[in-house]
């Protein structure tokens, strides 16, 4: 099967590319640069031409503007990257009856503390990142072949996971948010579980995360333990002090995915070990 992976050069995309190739599938990596196919996803005409030329058997969309601050300061640009391409991608998926995997977010929940949120839990959209990602889900769902993957990902190559690992190894100053809950999943597990869901012909919205919820701070303590580091210098604080409003009750209930797949998703401890063991 030939897959087109959009956003293939970020934190998550390369995991899909390598795992598809390991499964014997063809994976064509796309981004604005450094990929097999280089183009700007905000150009609808170019996107249509790419789909026509490549004619993939399936599409995985990992492309996004993931930076909450940048989305807030330029919502139009966030819409063009995070939302609008899903109109063309879903139309193409529906017309050709081919799978569209849309990587979404968990950034939708403001109440419930560490309670896991199901796929049908009420969403509250508190910033432009959340609005653009949620609208992308709605556009994707216009294709009956769309699989929406709500997630919280972590990896050592970039972003929060890299910061956590580097800061712990270098004993850098850290403020741990003890009131900001999530269920992070290592990017390699995210790609593997998502491809298993696609292989099972799942469609609609699925939470793909670790099977336990913790505060961001407690997850960092778990990574420190996995690294055999005593984090005696860190400070504990609150996510409410961030500049742009965040949804902070992001733990996801993964029972729907576990039932579909017939296996358990990773625990937080397994995720902490996966991050600790990954090369920077």
Q: Does the protein bind ligand NAP through residue 81 (CB under 6 A)?
A: yes
CB atoms < 10 A from the CB of 260, how many? Answer: 14
Q: Does the protein bind ligand NAP through residue 266 (CB under 6 A)?
A: no
Torsion of Cα atoms, 211 then 115 then 69 then 135, to 10°: 80
Selected range binding ligand NAP among 3-11, 202-210, 214-222, 260-268, rule: CB under 6 A: 3-11
Alpha carbons 259 and 264: distance in angstroms, whole number: 9
Chain Cα centroid distance, residue 176: 21
Q: Does the protein bind ligand NAP through residue 63 (CB under 6 A)?
A: yes
Q: What angle do CA 40, 46, 107 make, to 5 degrees?
A: 45
Alpha carbons 119 and 117: distance in angstroms, whole number: 7
Q: Does the protein bind ligand NAP through residue 76 (CB under 6 A)?
A: no
Q: Which contiguous run of DSSP H or E holds residue 160? A: helix 159-170
Q: Does the protein bind ligand NAP through residue 224 (CB under 6 A)?
A: no
Alpha carbons 54 and 39: distance in angstroms, whole number: 13
Q: Per CB under 6 A, which of residues 231..260 are in contact with ligand NAP? A: none
Q: Does the protein bind ligand NAP through residue 59 (CB under 6 A)?
A: no
Q: Does the protein bind ligand NAP through residue 5 (CB under 6 A)?
A: no
- The residue from 4, 8, 126, 197 that contacts ligand NAP (CB under 6 A) is 8
Structure tokens at 146: 């769309």
CB of 232 to ligand NAP, least distance (A): 27
Site string for ligand NAP, 26-55 (x = CB under 6 A): -----xxx------xxx-------------
User: What is residue 181's three-state secondary structure?
Assistant: strand
Q: Does the protein bind ligand NAP through residue 21 (CB under 6 A)?
A: no
Alpha carbons 73 and 99: distance in angstroms, whole number: 33
Q: Per CB under 6 A, which of residues 124..153 are in contact with ligand NAP? A: 133, 151-153
Distances (CA, A) of 137 to 102, 194, 264: 7, 16, 25
Alpha carbons 90 and 98: distance in angstroms, whole number: 10
Structure tokens at 130: 């959340």
Q: Does the protein bind ligand NAP through residue 11 (CB under 6 A)?
A: yes
Count of positions on this chain that bind ligand NAP (CB under 6 A): 27
Question: Nearest Cα to 42, choosing from 106, 3, 87?
Answer: 87
Which CB atom, from 40 or from 166, has the smaller least distance to ligand NAP? 40
Which CB atom, from 41 or from 276, has the smaller least distance to ligand NAP? 41
Structure tokens at 147: 């699989």
Which CB atom, from 233 or from 245, has the smaller least distance to ligand NAP? 245
Site string for ligand NAP, 82-111 (x = CB under 6 A): ---------------------x-x------
Residue number, nearest CB to ligand NAP:
10
Q: Does the protein bind ligand NAP through residue 66 (CB under 6 A)?
A: yes
Beta bridge partners of 176: 236
Q: Per CB under 6 A, which of residues 155..194 are in contact with ligand NAP? A: 158-160
Alpha carbons 7 and 153: distance in angstroms, whole number: 15
Q: Which residues bind ligand NAP (CB under 6 A)?
A: 7-13, 31-33, 40-42, 62-64, 66, 81, 103, 105, 133, 151-153, 158-160
């Amino acid at each position: 099967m030939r897959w087109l992976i959009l956003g293939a050069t970020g934190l998550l995309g390369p995991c899909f590319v390598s795992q598809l190739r390991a499964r014997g599938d063809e994976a064509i990596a796309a981004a604005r640069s450094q990929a097999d196919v280089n183009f700007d996803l905000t150009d609808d005409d170019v996107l249509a031409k790419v789909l026509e030329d490549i004619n993939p058997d399936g599409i995985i969309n990992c492309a996004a503007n993931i930076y909450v601050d940048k989305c807030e300061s330029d919502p139009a640009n966030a819409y063009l990257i995070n939302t609008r391409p899903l109109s063309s991608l879903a139309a193409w998926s529906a017309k050709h009856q081919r799978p569209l995997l849309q990587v979404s977010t968990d950034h939708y929940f403001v109440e419930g503390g560490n309670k896991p949120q199901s796929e049908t839990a009420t969403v509250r959209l508190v910033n432009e990142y959340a609005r653009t990602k949620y609208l992308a889900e709605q556009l994707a769902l216009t294709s009956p072949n769309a699989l929406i993957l709500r997630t919280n990902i972590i990896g050592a190559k970039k972003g929060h996971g890299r910061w956590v690992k580097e800061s712990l190894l270098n004993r850098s100053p850290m403020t741990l948010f003890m009131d900001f809950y999530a269920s992070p999943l290592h990017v390699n597990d995210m790609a593997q579980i998502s491809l298993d869901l696609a292989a099972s012909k799942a469609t609609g919205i699925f939470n793909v995360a670790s099977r336990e919820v913790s505060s961001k701070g407690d997850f960092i303590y778990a990574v420190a333990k996995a690294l055999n580091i005593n984090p005696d210098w860190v400070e504990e604080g609150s996510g409410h002090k961030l500049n742009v409003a965040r949804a902070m009750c992001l733990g996801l209930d993964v029972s729907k995915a576990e039932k579909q797949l017939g296996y358990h998703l990773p625990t937080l401890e397994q995720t902490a070990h996966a991050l600790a063991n990954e090369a920077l």
